[in-house]
Structure 1
Amino acid sequence: MKDLESWLKERRITEVECLVSDITGIARGKITPVSKFMAEKGMRLPESVLLQTVTGDYVEDDLYYSLLDPADIDMVCKPDISAVYPVPWALEPTAQVIHDCYDKMGNPIELSCRNQLKRVLALYAERGWKPVVAPEMEFYLTKRCEDPDLPLQPPIGRSGRQETGRQSFSIDAANEFDPLFEDMYDWCEAQGLDIDTLIHEEGTAQMEINFRHGDPLMLADQIFLFKRTLREAALKHDVAATFMAKPITNEPGSAMHIHQSVLDATTGRSIFANDDGSMSQLFLHHIGGLQRFIPEALPLMAPNVNSFRRFLPDTSAPVNVEWGEENRTCGLRVPDSTPQNRRIENRLPGADANAYLAIAASLLCGYLGMEQGLNPSAPVQGRAFERRNMRLPFTLEQALERMEHCAELERYMGHRFVTGYVAVKRVENENFKQVISAWEREFLLLSV
């Protein structure tokens, strides 16, 4: 902890936000004076925070106590000294430190999302492989709205007007929010978040931030923090930023595209390319694994009821696990690149997904393909939207059913995690069903 102590002293940090990610991706933890943080070198939290729903509820008691200690004990959360960042929007000098979760015996807790990604990376390390990812995060800027029954509206930009129509790749439309994005870039730079390109996406006031390729755990940490950073920058400018998969009717959904490749850990060469530059068998098996197991792991990439609105017909999101070169209608796209940089872009995860779990699931599916020697289908030429033989589950209920009965996911992610995750999402789905929608009031109130 000496280096961390020096880092905190150099920046005159007075408070530390001790963070863990729950299943949703919400930052849970404690805010503590720096002196107490250094004295305790971690924190304790109830295990139950890892089974909390987005509404703050928990799974039913019988299942709850089968997955957690009946005494509702604390877990031990230890700081990762490689995941220490300033909080540039804080009024006092503050640091945020991402923690890992352990039981009292020092074993990693299976329900921890960050631990799940570490488990998958360990599988690659055992084979001498080093995965590399490059996420792309889409999001919407909207007017702030206090009434959740009201549709979201585009925010007012520098011109004093709301954006109208589709403005894909428009520089001027993106510049409407320059003050907000200047703060976002400054705060990301202060934290060392490795963001790259800003793009205006297809939707009204929809944007995309690309991250530079790198280590999956580091980038999952950065996405976890980036969501906090962007929301804070938006609030400073009286705007809201949302990573909902489908926040606005008749507008495109927001994705978290994951570019993934695998290097030989010793030589640094891509295992996705043969010596002559052609696609290797391991690359094809990796795609085969994604095709075979994404339908079972889909709730980790599309975790909410709203996630599946992004997959509705006539949307811009692919609803399949087809693959093709330079083909954005496929769920799995192979971008044009040099052999060393050959990668697969998984276009299925939503922006609402927990980055730790989406990246872990995507890499695990590819790993299983390489381990089992799974061959992919033939690559698609032309449009893949209308293809029906490799469609995904249509609802969260269907997806959870498939995940619950996937032996491979249980084997590699653990029974407690799969059971707990499915249970949390079912509680959220039941809560959703209890809410009467505006559509029901509009069309059924006086008609049936």
Structure 2
Amino acid sequence: MEKLTKWLKENNITEIECITPDQTGIARGKIMPTDKFIAEKGIRLPESVLLQTATGDYPDDEVYYSLLDPADIDMHLRPDDSAVFLVPWALEPTAQVIHDCYDNMGNAINLSPRNLLKKVLELYEDKGWKPIVAPEMEFYLTARCTDPDLPLTPPIGRSGRSESGRQSFSIDAANEYDPIIEDIYDWSEAQNLDIDTLIHEEGTAQLEFNFRHGDALKLADQVFVFKRTVREAALKHNISATFMAKPITNEPGSAMHIHQSIVDVKTGKNLFSNPDGTASKLFYNFIAGLQTYIPQAMPMFAPNVNSYRRYLPGAAGNSPVNIEWGEENRTVGLRVPASSPEGRRVENRLPGSDTNPYIALAGNLICGYLGMVDDLKPRKPVAGRLGDQADDHVPFNLEVALDMMSECTELREVLGDDFVDGFIATRWAEYEGFKKVISSWEREYLLSSV
């Protein structure tokens, strides 16, 4: 706290946003004056915020009270002085401080997504391993629309026109949004976010920012803050930004591709490569773990009903609908980019940009970890283009995915029953709310014909 207090005073911070991510990835917390924050050394929040859905609802009472105290008691949130960021869009000097969640006895609360990732990283630490990750974040810029029944449209660019057609990697198309892009870069720099490359993706007004590789917990924090940053930058320019997995009909979905490798803590060497530069046994084990456990962990990569709209065989710009692997092959779910032996890594192309970054990274790393400790063997790599037929092993709808995760004893053993049951319960609660809404497709095609 002493280090954090010094930083707050040096930066003349007058207000603190005390935040922690919920299951969906929404920032929950309190805003308070700096003096009060320093005096109290943390905040208290109801435990129930960790079971709140995107709609503000909660799981049914049976699950709710099996995971939480019936009195809806408070949990204690402690600030992490390594997860402190400026709020460059605020009107007065403001900082956002990410907090960890503990119970009254000082035990880490299992329902917390950040605690979950820390728990997974401790398994690696016990082995003398350290994961290195690099997320890629895709999102859409759209015109402001306050009516949820209307489809989203591209915003007006610098030219005064809306974008149309496919503009993959177009520099001119990206430059249409220079004002907002400059704000994203400037605000990210002010927050020490390690963003690197910008590209225009395939969809209309769809952009992708890549992060530099680094520590998994720090990158999860940065992605969490980055999503807030992008949305705030869009609002400044009177447009919107969305990280929905599939926000626009007939346009590509948005992904959070995750690159990962594992290094030896003592030597700093990439454990995916042998001394002679060839791929190591642990490299193949890691891929095998992803292939074995991604089907059961799918809700961690595709948590919302909209997430599964990315996985449409034959659709424009669809995500890979398989968990095959191959070198330099974007048609497989697990791509191995061309690199030096020191840079050998695996890219998981299945997660959507709508995922909670803590949960997606935890899921990705635990699948690979189980492959390494259980000495699993991968399927043969795929050379050439893989067809669009969906992999029978993978659940590409939310209902089946939730059932499979619930029944996976291996994930329960390492992630804990509390997290698995709580996470699944919030997903079911949101899905039940979704099923109560009648879609425009149903009205258009069924209203007068059935």
Tell me the TM-score range normalised by the shorter chain. Answer: over 0.9
Q: Residue 306 of structure 1 aligns with which residue?
A: 306
CA displacement at 1:382 relative to structure 2? 1.3
CA displacement at 1:384 relative to structure 2? 2.1
**Cα distance in structure 2, aligned partners of 1:275 and 1:295:** 33
1:84 alignment partner, SS class: strand
CA displacement at 1:408 relative to structure 2? 1.0
Are the structure 2 counterparts of residues 150 and 10 from structure 1 closer, same or farther at C-alpha, using a change threshold of 3 Å? same
Give yes or no for contact 1:19–1:29 (8 Å, CA) kept in 2: yes
**Paired amino acid for 1:405:** E
CA displacement at 1:148 relative to structure 2? 0.3
Q: Aligned runs of 1:45-64 on 2, under 5 Å?
A: 45-64=45-64
Q: Residue 247 of structure 2 aligns with which residue?
A: 247
Q: Residue 98 of structure 1 aligns with which residue?
A: 98
Give yes or no for contact 2:295–2:404 (8 Å, CA) kept in 1: yes
Q: Aligned runs of 1:381-392 on 2, under 5 Å?
A: 381-386=383-388, 391-392=393-394
**Paired amino acid for 2:50:** L
Q: Aligned runs of 1:411-426 on 2, under 5 Å?
A: 411-426=413-428
Q: Residue 446 of structure 1 aligns with which residue?
A: 448
**Cα distance in structure 2, aligned partners of 1:183 and 1:356:** 25
Aligned residues: 448
2:214 alignment partner, SS class: coil
**Cα distance in structure 2, aligned partners of 1:63 and 1:400:** 15
CA displacement at 1:447 relative to structure 2? 1.9
**Paired amino acid for 1:359:** L
Return 5+ residue gaps in structure 1 as ranges: none
Q: Residue 171 of structure 2 aligns with which residue?
A: 171
**Cα distance in structure 2, aligned partners of 1:239 and 1:113:** 30
Give yes or no for contact 1:184–1:230 (8 Å, CA) kept in 2: yes
Q: Residue 431 of structure 1 aligns with which residue?
A: 433
1:436 alignment partner, SS class: coil
Q: Residue 221 of structure 2 aligns with which residue?
A: 221
**Cα distance in structure 2, aligned partners of 1:78 and 1:321:** 39
Give yes or no for contact 2:321–2:389 (8 Å, CA) kept in 1: no
Give yes or no for contact 1:286–1:369 (8 Å, CA) kept in 2: yes
CA displacement at 1:394 relative to structure 2? 2.1
**Cα distance in structure 1, aligned partners of 2:53 and 2:391:** 34
**Paired amino acid for 1:76:** H
Give yes or no for contact 1:196–1:211 (8 Å, CA) kept in 2: yes
CA displacement at 1:251 relative to structure 2? 0.5
**Cα distance in structure 1, aligned partners of 2:311 and 2:391:** 16
Are the structure 2 counterparts of residues 214 and 447 from structure 1 closer, same or farther at C-alpha, using a change threshold of 3 Å? same
Q: Residue 399 of structure 1 aligns with which residue?
A: 401
Q: Residue 150 of structure 1 aligns with which residue?
A: 150
**Paired amino acid for 2:309:** R
Q: Aligned runs of 1:205-220 on 2, under 5 Å?
A: 205-220=205-220
Q: Aligned runs of 1:21-100 on 2, under 5 Å?
A: 21-100=21-100
**Paired amino acid for 1:341:** G
Give yes or no for contact 2:313–2:389 (8 Å, CA) kept in 1: no
Give yes or no for contact 1:319–1:391 (8 Å, CA) kept in 2: no
Give yes or no for contact 2:313–2:390 (8 Å, CA) kept in 1: no
CA displacement at 1:385 relative to structure 2? 3.2
Return 5+ residue gaps in structure 2 as ranges: none
1:259 alignment partner, SS class: strand
Give yes or no for contact 1:320–1:385 (8 Å, CA) kept in 2: no
Q: Residue 112 of structure 2 aligns with which residue?
A: 112
1:157 alignment partner, SS class: coil
**Cα distance in structure 2, aligned partners of 1:62 and 1:354:** 25
Q: Residue 230 of structure 1 aligns with which residue?
A: 230
Give yes or no for contact 2:321–2:388 (8 Å, CA) kept in 1: no
Give yes or no for contact 1:136–1:210 (8 Å, CA) kept in 2: yes
**Cα distance in structure 2, aligned partners of 1:273 and 1:404:** 35
Give yes or no for contact 1:19–1:30 (8 Å, CA) kept in 2: yes
**Cα distance in structure 1, aligned partners of 2:11 and 2:78:** 21
Of residues 218-227 and 60-69 in structure 1, the stretch that sits farther from structure 2 once superposed is: 60-69
**Cα distance in structure 2, aligned partners of 1:190 and 1:223:** 15
**Cα distance in structure 1, aligned partners of 2:192 and 2:275:** 36
Give yes or no for contact 1:287–1:376 (8 Å, CA) kept in 2: yes
**Paired amino acid for 1:416:** D
| Cα displacement string for residues 313-337 of structure 1 (whole angstroms, at most 9, x for unaligned residues) | 1132101110000000000000000
Q: Residue 18 of structure 1 aligns with which residue?
A: 18
CA displacement at 1:387 relative to structure 2? 5.2
Q: Aligned runs of 1:372-383 on 2, under 5 Å?
A: 372-383=374-385
Q: Residue 271 of structure 1 aligns with which residue?
A: 271
Cα root mean square deviation, aligned: 0.8
Give yes or no for contact 2:313–2:388 (8 Å, CA) kept in 1: no
Q: Aligned runs of 1:296-335 on 2, under 5 Å?
A: 296-315=296-315, 316-335=318-337
Give yes or no for contact 2:201–2:208 (8 Å, CA) kept in 1: yes
Moved over 4 A (4+): 387-391
| Cα displacement string for residues 367-415 of structure 1 (whole angstroms, at most 9, x for unaligned residues) | 0000100000000011223455554212100000000000011111100
**Paired amino acid for 1:251:** E
Give yes or no for contact 1:23–1:52 (8 Å, CA) kept in 2: yes
CA displacement at 1:276 relative to structure 2? 1.1
1:272 alignment partner, SS class: coil
Q: Residue 350 of structure 1 aligns with which residue?
A: 352
Q: Percent identity?
A: 68
Of residues 387-396 and 347-356 in structure 1, the stretch that sits farther from structure 2 once superposed is: 387-396
1:153 alignment partner, SS class: coil
